[in-house]
Structure 1
Amino acid sequence: MTVPAAMVSPQANRHWESKYADRVMDRMRDTCDPLADAVAARIQRARPAQMLDEVFARAKHEGGVFLRLSGPLSHHTVLGGLAAGGACRRVNLGFANVRSIALLVSSLVEGYSLSKATHVLIATGRLHQDVLRRVYETSQMTHNMNVPGGLRPGAEGHRTVMEVRLLHAMVRKYLRERGWETEKYDAPINQEDMAFTIIEFNYLALRGMERMGAALSDDDRAASHHLWRFMARQNGVCDEMLTDSLDEEIYQYQRIRERQYNPNEEGRLLAQTVITALAGQPPFRLSEGLLFELSRICLGDELADVYALPRSAFWHRAVLAYKAANRLSTLAHYQVPGVARLSEKMNLRMLRGALHKNLPADPQKRAFRHIS
């Protein structure tokens, strides 16, 4: 889904060159989320759900930063996000199979090629310990976002997103207290890294879907961008790093990759660990060989070779068949009445069941309490 140069105006390119100049991006690597960080400085470390409960409780008595973090957004911002959320939710659920695979074997894995951001995961022990639980927690967030009404202020999807934002602030606090090497790795979970996370969930997921045969309509790609721009704001991404279109998001991706792409042994180990851990797991139960080949198709040979992802002629043929099936499914989604709605219902039930099966039964033991 690379955007041809002719589709982007010279004026837009000049504006983006200035907006994402190195001097600006360097400043973004020193900038985190001041509002969430101020809240994190005044609360105790616990599970995200418990920390957010503390934020709500203290907001009633202290106000200030607590009220600003948990309080409502502007009417325009909420309505815009909900409108995009409704359209994008239907797409996310209708294409849940291929989108979920793209997120796991393409978006998440490409993120490991940014070595400074990856070092946060290494330093905190996330992902290389209890890999599957971390993956299902991410799925829990996106699932809660996609249920009808999930993004309304106070609803479970909105709450989970706020819990993730607070978790990131507590991770920054934890790392700084333990001597994080800012001169070497820049600020932990900084604005540039946060923007790339949004890119993983939007552009890289869309690109992975397309490479696996599921190319969305222009309207649906625009709705997806609108939703994830809204989510970027909710997650603490500053106005300077918000993108106004998918074209700009792709440009932002290219700039961050130019600046931060440095796949190393840590990234290779994380990529292989995640893919291996996902093999045979619900809800898709795909073989390890197929997952490696799907990842190679999505990432491209350059990065796949750096990660030393194995090749297989057998599984390559299986991927070609899977791509053909996705093309047919995409055609049916857009052309056959009732297919999209049926897929949404089936996939919502399937994903909810997988979360209940693979996360602790006791909500108090989950990082994010609620499964919508």
Structure 2
Amino acid sequence: MQKIWFLFGLIGVLIGMTGYAYSQETSLATFQETAQIIIDKSISQNVTASIALQSTSIQEIQIPAELEQKIREDRRITAIVVTNENHCILGVFDESCIIINVARDPEDKGILAIQNTTKRVASLFIDDVNQALDTEAKFHSVFIQSEDETSKALETSGTISGKGTVSAVYTMPMEDTASMYEKISALLLPREIRDRGGFYDIAKNLSKEENAKITFSIIPIENKSLLQLKLSVDYPNTASSINEISPLELLKTNELKRSEYFSSGFYPLNSILQVVVLSPESTNVSDVRGNIIPSQLVDGEKIPTEITKEGWIFDPEQGKRIQGKFIFGERKSIDKNELIFSLGGSQLSTPKIETSFDESIVIVIIISVIAIGAAIYYLKGYRK
């Protein structure tokens, strides 16, 4: 919990520094595209491939300014999630959901009081959300989340799901993912993002897959909101057989291209590929075909010391939970075969970690952008 809120705090730092950052050779944008692969050998045995498009700007992910401000200023709303995930909450079948998470009032004693308060607070927002997304969701129930093993394994907070989360659930007819993604992305994303390719095109293609699902989240953080549109595809019961990892094979593409939205400058950390492996036994990364970027430890996080080169940062690179982040450097695209690596085998011979710390503004910015990336990694969406 502390880690994720620390990361959200760094996002606030980034927002405050953006104007200064633009004057540097290395630039930042509030819009970020991320591809993510989760290989869960420990709990579900599923593999999940997803594309997330995220921003803290309502010009880049367009929700009404009045609604965004209303959500932030209420202080009781911790997240609003729109999804067509199967069984988005216990008791919901074959319906899409709008889920409004409400912070529990300590004064509420007993389940009935908690449910009544949650429904009352959520009712102040559902009409506005329906209007913004052109939906007609109706009240279904209030649900108090129990502890979620996968959330714990991924070190998530209870903002989206997990123990202690109280949700007002509204349902509507189930919609095909491809048509729902087309509709929501047209409502939320300006044409200058939709027409510039990149990860958006991969998500659009993935939306046609049989097990594809869509999630849109609004998460208030300080004086901004984290807005995220995510398209995920599950590959059930496939994790245990994977020892060689080819991320783009799971994303159904031979090439990962960055959005031309970033073509006006050098934005090396606004497009990231991330792979997470959860294993019941300790394992390690091996046989990496691409580059491994030199890095240094800052507050327990591996931070790249060279961002003009493409390559991986594995942190950690061994154990029961492995995480790899790939950054593009100056490259605009990466080929499928450049991203393959294996589990087990000989341990990595990683580049020497720098011992000196560059106090320049660029390094501070890197920490902030990695924080934004980490935030989206942990927001998989609702789990049953």
Q: TM-score, normalised by structure 1?
A: 0.28
Q: Which has the higher contact order (CA 8 A, sep 6+)?
A: 1
In proportion to residue count, which structure has more helix? 1
